[in-house]
Amino acid sequence: MRIGVPKEIKPQENRIGLTPESVKTLVSEGHEVLVENNGGFEAGFENDQYTKAGAKIVNKASDIFNDSEIIVKVKEPQKVEVDMIRENQIVYTYLHLAAAKELTEGLIKSKSINIAYETVTDDNGRLPLLAPMSAVAGRMSVQAGAHCLEKNQKGRGVLLGGAPGGEPANVLILGGGVVGENAAIIATGMKAKVHVVDKSEARLKQLVEMFGDKIIPEQSNKIDLNKLVAEADLVVGGVLIPGAEAPKLVTKDMLKLMKRGSVIVDVAIDQGGCVETSKPTTHGNPTYIVDDVVHYCVANMPGGVPRTSTFALNKATLPYLVKLANKGYQKALGEDKNFLAGLNVHKGHVTYKAVADVFGQQYVDPGEAIKN
């Protein structure tokens, strides 16, 4: 198959869909790979590394979209890219459609085949292609939050880990999944006081086994969230409902309870955010203030560390891409129900129920869809 890798065009998105080593693997399997000129530059990959791996460098994104059977990206297609997607073309990337009505409608209209990294599952119900970027975002969330707490960033002027004679900051992590676990790794490492909220008692027990008394576990149905939010210096939103819009756990009214200069980092912003006052921001302009609370809502946080992120992402996504290219999408998805869970839009039909439900679209079972 011919596989195309366009340069990412979302603002401050510096990752790329394939590393040179991943290209080498695909070429060794008999596939042709097209990479847009300087597509990997910001992640530290030069054109000649791709050519040595067997790729062809292409000057224009339009040529990549015109000539490729599979498009491999990192972030959801932007409008100009959606307009270039062809009927029956396979798009393999993060989509986050539940928070993107216009994109969903554009992909339906294109009659393309769209596989979302974030809804591919494994036998334990985990999300193996989302996990690496969730880990990166979770770790970055505390770094970003600590920076935003500095006074010159309009924060409270609090050092996350405190100092002799000064108390550490209170960090409230909403969600004990991959984001929450990795946020806790950094927050506890910085010696903050860390509360982790999750609805699952079993998951909280796992986290206590990992962190011991470095965290304070909080089961969501047994707590006063208003009180925890009011006491927090930093709130990290890491709540996820796979493929669906994130629930709004922190309301606008709750912001009025928060300390002046406290910080919210809403990692769930890709899925609409778990804070009512959240709206997507960029690395170039990452924060805004509502009711004296600093909001950091960068929708592509791992794009700020593109080299680390691209390596981590490819380790997870490449084996699935090899199957897709070697077998064709119908066989690759048809023989693997977990990979099939990644199919969100197929030839004009929505094949992921949470996306169909949120936009009132007709849902088509993905197993039935790929038979056509």
Whether 271 and 190 map to the same domain: the answer is yes
Comparing CA positions, the residue from 236, 271, 336 lying closest to residue 94 is 271
pLDDT of residue 134: 96
For the cut 90, the answer to whether the pLDDT of residue 248 exceeds it is yes
- SS3 call for 200: coil
Whether 271 and 359 map to the same domain: the answer is no
Whether 168 and 282 map to the same domain: the answer is yes
351 within a domain of the structure (yes/no): yes
Q: Which of 160-164, 243-247, 348-352 has the lowest mean pLDDT?
A: 243-247
Contact status, residue 252 vs residue 261, Cβ threshold 8 Å: no
pLDDT of residue 46: 98
**Catalytic status, residue 213:** no
**Catalytic status, residue 96:** yes
Q: How many domains does the chain divide into?
A: 2
Whether 209 and 290 map to the same domain: the answer is yes
184 within a domain of the structure (yes/no): yes
Sequence length of the chain is 372
Comparing CA positions, the residue from 292, 252, 326 lying closest to residue 30 is 326
| Domain end marker among 239, 266, 299 | 299
Out of 31, 233, 270, 349, the active site residue is 270
Q: How confident is the model at residue 244 (pLDDT cuts 50, 70, 90)?
A: confident
Supply the pTM of this predicted model: 0.92
The tokens describing 168, both together, are: 């550490």
Q: What is the rounded average pLDDT of the residues 129-143? A: 97
Taking the mean position of all CA atoms in its chain, how far away is CA 254? 26
Whether 54 and 89 map to the same domain: the answer is yes
For the cut 90, the answer to whether the pLDDT of residue 126 exceeds it is yes
Whether 111 and 139 map to the same domain: the answer is no
For the cut 90, the answer to whether the pLDDT of residue 49 exceeds it is yes
59 within a domain of the structure (yes/no): yes
- How many CB atoms are closer than 10 A to CB 167? 11
Whether 106 and 38 map to the same domain: the answer is yes
pLDDT 10s digits, 322-344: 999 999 999 999 999 999 999 99
Distance, CA of 365 to CA of 370 (rounded, Å)? 9
Whether 284 and 344 map to the same domain: the answer is no
Q: Which residue range forms the structural domain that includes residue 61?
A: 2-119+306-369
pLDDT 10s digits, 5-33: 999 999 889 999 999 999 999 999 999 99
Whether 249 and 316 map to the same domain: the answer is no
125 within a domain of the structure (yes/no): no
Out of 31, 96, 195, 346, the active site residue is 96
